[in-house]
Chain A
Amino acid sequence: MSTLAVRKSAPAAGTTPGTAQGPPARRRRIALVPTLTLVLGALYCLLPVAWVVIAATKSGRELFSTFTFLPGTGFADNLSDLNAYRDGVYWKWMGNSALYAGLGALLSTAVSAVSGYALAIYRFRGRETVFSILMAGVLMPPVILAIPQYLLLAKADLTDSYWSVLLPLVLSPYGVYLARIYAAAAVPGDVVEAGRMDGAGEWRIFTRIALPMMVPGLVTVFLFQFVAVWNNFLLPYIMLSDDEKFPITLGLFTLLEQGSNTPALYTLVITGALLAVLPLIALFLAVQRFWSLDLLSGAVKS
């Protein structure tokens, strides 16, 4: 939605009659305000990132004693310390995070695709009720559900397993909502009808015809879920007690909270946090082309 707005306003700034009335100089001044706002916004978002990057280069001695944005000399040491910490348990956490986020987002995208498609294409009794309940789920912060989910999974003897973190993530109300909206816009009812006329089964229509049309929307769902799981804290915190199964968020937390007689391992946490962001950045760069496809197809279809 916001991308559409940007696309419209981009030519608007240059060519709409409203701005054409004024002299060129004034037009530039008008453009200055949004530019400045965006620059400020970018600074606001990027300064903490810059802090993490620079702080990760500082050794323990330099961390609190040198000027904040002065790069330090300890990056290589921090890396090797992090690598050596408890025989490289950090990489185990990184792998766990990748598993939870990757598999969790994949499963959740699959469920969202099927349910979103069903809700958008089929008309059946109770459809709106199901959808309303899902919408209520969107309003419910997942944090509230963590403890009930723990007690439920404990009944099934599933706590402290990989499943205990994956299963609660599979149904994402927001993902289903997005998939439904996207399917309704991207998969024309006529196409589904034509498929039926040609004798294709419902499953075949979904996988062969509808799914490819929904891919850009599903990529969005996948990315949303991936980032949400990657940053998730409370659910794994409650579910897991074995630190070999911890995701990176929890692992870094244990480095911070080591008890009063041991100092927090700030340099390791900061370096670890920096490395933990890299996969997210890589993922966004890799999936970017699907997103631009999303913009194009979205614009054409609507």
Chain B
Amino acid sequence: MPTNTKHRRFVATAVAVTLGATTLAACGSSDDDSDAQSGPAKLTYWTWTPGMDKVVDLWNKGPGKEQQITVTVKKQASGDTLVTKILTAHKAGKGPDLVQAEYQALPTLVSNDAVADIAGEAGEAEGDFAEGVWQQTTLGTDAVYAIPQDIGPMMFYYREDLFKEYGLTVPTTWDEFAETARKLKEEAPDVDLTTFSANDSGLFAGLAQQAGAKWWTTEGQKWKVGIDDAATQKVADFWGGLVEEGAIDNQPMYTPAWNKALNTGKQIAWVSAVWAPGTLTTAAPDTAGKWKMAPLPQWSKSEDVTGSWGGSSTAVTTDSKHKEAAAKFATWLNTDQEALAALAKEGGIYPAATTAQLSEAFAEPPAYFSNQPDFYTRAAAIAKTTAPSAWGPNVNVAYTTFKDAFAAAAKDRSDFGAALTTMQDETVADLEKQGFEVAE
């Protein structure tokens, strides 16, 4: 049996190596277990915003240096996968101190106890934000789970030159929008006003939000899911009808074909949000200066509301040993004028803080919209009209179901109502499976 001992010795060595490395790692990280209240704090921050390291440098050299709070950026990829990663890290107690989180992901993080209530440390920041934006970080409670960073108020983008060429006017209501689509089909049968795409659930959620939908609400201790409420049904029927009659295209966005359609004038409008200039710059580079932005069409002439698509916040995790320091940084990052100007310049974000929306950084329109000098003035006015949103703990499930059910419905040009029912049922089923009580 000489091999047995050999083998065992090898295993023992491997374990020894592992343990050695463990001790080393433990030595390296033990220095940030210092006083939890004040004193030097080293914070880690998971974010996907480009150039965030440069913004954080401002903190580390300025206010952070005075308060002995050093922040290290660990750049991440955005999206639902990051939420999973945060929750996995939280499960192991290895979460960073600060995370960037999209608004619709906050309830998921809160219900998993991954982000901390910082009402005590950062509650006074409320005044810097529009009510509808701030409410997304409180989830309608007294707690504050994050500081809003950027927002994505929805707008209507259209090719000014082609609208003129086809004799179209900019729609102000959704009825006019449908008429415009039909009229365009008569003028130029191979050109589409826009497409209904099921590959980004945020668009549909924003449209439903504009119509007044409240997808998740609480009733006592129970969740109530209203994905198939009247408002959402109205939105689904509207777009389903347009797709069914062929008035608009049914191909997904963000594909090379979609880029080409925008770039060559096969699609001449896009329902999008304030960040659209960035997307259009890569998708339709040859049409710079030919687009214009207008408010989203309304459901009735007297209304003036928009939905939001995208946007994110800065949250402090429950794993953080320096909650107060982390909250201080999060507040500075999203309310300090210098920080916000740097965020706009380096990260290209549209700030949630209302004072920053008209600051120096937004005096000039985006280069792609040089033909619309008042782009950001109008954007700030539109941002004020953002409808409140209501997110729940399993937005990811609703979004996934949306993609599957609506993509199939759009492809077959079939009834969107059935797809909506599927979305409602699966979301409720998942909530119940997760152990939440759901009100009927």
Which residues of A approach B to under 8 Å, CB–CB? 60-61, 63-65, 86, 114-115, 118, 122, 124, 147, 150-151, 154-161, 163, 167, 170, 202-203, 237-238, 241-243, 250, 253-254, 256-264, 266
CB distance from B116 to the nearest CB of A (A): 18
B136 within 8 A of A: no
Cβ contact within 8 Å between A241 and B88: no
The answer to whether A253 and B92 touch (CB under 8 A), given A65-B263, A161-B25, is no
Neighbouring B residues of A122 by C-beta, 8 Å: 3
Residues of B within 8 A of A61 (CB): 285-286
A161–B26 Cα distance when bound, in Å, is 12
Question: Which residues of B have CB within 8 Å of A202?
Answer: 2-3, 6
Residues in A neighbouring B302, C-beta threshold 8 A: none
Contact A163 B21 (CB under 8 A): yes
A238 pairs with B25, CB closer than 8 A: no
A150 touches B88 (CB 8 A): yes
Residues of chain A within 8 A (CB-CB) of B285 are 60-61, 65
Would you call A167 and B152 a contact (CB within 8 A)?
A: no
Q: Does B74 contact A (CB under 8 A)?
A: yes
**B378 interface residue, CB < 8 Å from A?**
no
With A65-B285, A161-B25 in contact, do A203 and B309 touch (Cβ < 8 Å)? no
Q: How far is the CA of A12 from the CA of B6 in the complex (A)?
A: 48
B92 contacts A64, C-beta separation under 8 Å? no
Q: Are B3 and A266 in contact (CB under 8 A)?
A: no
Q: How far is the CA of A86 from the CA of B286 in the complex (A)?
A: 27
A-B contact pairs, 17 of them (CB 8 A): A60-B282, A60-B285, A64-B256, A65-B260, A147-B88, A150-B88, A156-B18, A156-B25, A158-B21, A159-B94, A167-B18, A202-B2, A243-B75, A261-B275, A262-B275, A262-B347, A263-B279
Q: Do A261 and B150 contact each other (CB < 8 Å), given the known contacts A238-B88, A241-B89? A: yes
Residues of A within 8 A of B78 (CB): 257-260
- Chain B positions near chain A (C-beta within 8 angstroms): 1-4, 6-7, 10, 14, 18, 21-22, 25-26, 29, 44, 46, 48-50, 53, 74-79, 81, 85, 88-89, 91-94, 96, 150, 152, 202, 256, 259-260, 263-264, 273-275, 278-279, 281-283, 285-286, 309-310, 312, 347-350
Please indicate the chain B residues that have their CB under 8 angstroms from the CB of A86 in the complex.
Answer: 53
Q: A266–B282 contact, CB under 8 A?
A: yes
If A254-B77, A260-B152 touch, does A65 touch B22 (CB 8 Å cutoff)?
Answer: no
Task: Look across to chain B and name the residue whose beta carbon is closest to the beta carbon of A240.
Answer: B74
Cα(A254)–Cα(B152), bound, Å? 21
| CB nearest to B7 among chain A residues | A118
Do A260 and B202 form a contact, CB below 8 Å, given A202-B2, A241-B76? Answer: yes
Q: Report yes or no: B286 in contact with A65, Cβ–Cβ below 8 A.
A: yes
B81 touches A237 (CB 8 A): yes
Asked whether, in the complex, the Cβ of B275 is within 8 Å of the Cβ of A158, the reply is no
A234 to B395, CA, bound (A): 23
**Chain A nearest CB: distance from B220 CB in Å?**
35
Interface pair A237/B85, CB less than 8 Å apart = yes
Contact residues in B for A65 (Cβ distance below 8 Å): 259-260, 263-264, 285-286
| B309-A64 in contact (CB<8A) | no
Residues from chain A with Cβ under 8 Å of B75 in the complex: 243, 254
Please name all residues of chain B whose beta carbon is closer than 8 Å to the beta carbon of A203 when the two chains form the complex: 6
Instruction: Name the B residues within 8 Å of A256 (CB-CB).
Output: 77
- Closest residue to A242 on the B side, CB-wise? B74
Q: Closest Cβ of chain A: how far from B290's Cβ, in Å?
A: 14
